[in-house]
Amino acid sequence: MFSQAPFKVKMEWGRRGAREASERGDIVIIVDVLSFSSTVVSALKSRAVIFPYPPDLDGKKFAESIDAEYILGRSEAARAGRPTLSPVSFSEVHRNKRYVLSSLNGAHCCWIVSRVPALLTGSLLNASAAAAAAEKLQQETGAAITVVPCGEMWNDVRENESSLRPSVEDYLGAGAIISRMNGEKSPEAEVCAAAFNGSAGRMKDLVWECGSGRELRERGFAEDVRYCSQLDITDTVPIMDVGGSFIKYSF
């Protein structure tokens, strides 16, 4: 039976991997570089309050029930001058405001693992801080750590095909976090860290030219790609609180 259970640091892909980590009771770090995780980090730097919510449920109704604003799609929100899934759309003007943020990958994975000992979001932006926070929580709880690169979803999936598309940017973001951890790593986690270590000098170019980066650029969001490809520019680590929102982890 497939299992990374004996190891203190693991790496699992997407929603199914998130469920595996949840069922083990691991500390989980959700990595969705373009852009959910990066956006949550950016929003918390601006002192906004973020509630993740899966897009296949009624996010607008949920937002109304908790007196929050439902975040619109990038283009619609940009026209309205409101914050969106774009990390560069958040600033100090959003301080203390409450938002519900949906995404196919990152938000959905957060929903799956919302009852783990600790749920963090990590990206290239906060890789070192996310690793340090997870290891501190591991010392406090004794739980293992699973880093979950979310990946993307294929369009027009046919019968007997998986919808998950593993993504370069999430793999490198997960590797950046794992490479900074000291615990015994599973082979999957070791290879992920090695991929980052072997590519760190070209990180911005790789994220810029990868499939997800090209997609965002073609849609007019090149600034998102530039922003999200920066390494260790903040020590902000989002952690989910008991109310289901992300708050900044205090070391």
Q: What tens digit of pLDDT does each residue of 209-237 get?
A: 999 999 999 999 999 999 999 999 999 99
Query: What is the pLDDT, as a whole number, of residue 180?
Result: 98
Selected residue with higher pLDDT from 43 and 162: 43
Most confident of the following: 50-64, 76-90, 180-194: 180-194
Asked if 245 and 50 touch (Cβ cutoff 8 Å), the reply is yes
Mean pLDDT value across residues 107-133: 96
Query: What is the pLDDT, as a whole number, of residue 132?
Result: 98
pLDDT band at 109 (very low <50, low <70, confident <90, very high): very high
Q: Which domains does the chain have, with CATH numbers?
A: 9-248 (3.90.1560.10)
Arithmetic mean of pLDDT over the chain: 95
Mean pLDDT value across residues 123-139: 98
Percent of the chain scored above 90 by pLDDT? 87
Q: In angstroms, rounded to a whole number, what is the distance separating the alpha carbons of residues 245 and 145?
A: 21
Q: In angstroms, rounded to a whole number, what is the distance separating the alpha carbons of residues 9 and 143?
A: 10
Strand partners, 3: none
pLDDT beyond 80 at 75: no
Query: What is the pLDDT, as a whole number, of residue 72?
Result: 76
Mean pLDDT value across residues 20-25: 95
1 by Cβ neighbours in 10 Å (0-12 / 13-18 / 19+) ranks as exposed
pLDDT beyond 90 at 76: no
pLDDT beyond 90 at 91: yes
pLDDT beyond 60 at 1: no
Mean pLDDT value across residues 192-219: 97
Amino acid at 195: A
- Read off the DSSP letter of residue 90: -
Query: What is the pLDDT, as a whole number, of residue 65?
Result: 97
pLDDT beyond 80 at 99: yes
pLDDT beyond 90 at 114: no
Structure tokens, 139: 């010392």
Q: Whose structure tokens read 């519900």?
A: 100
Q: Is 187 helix (H, G, I), strand (E, B) or coil?
A: helix
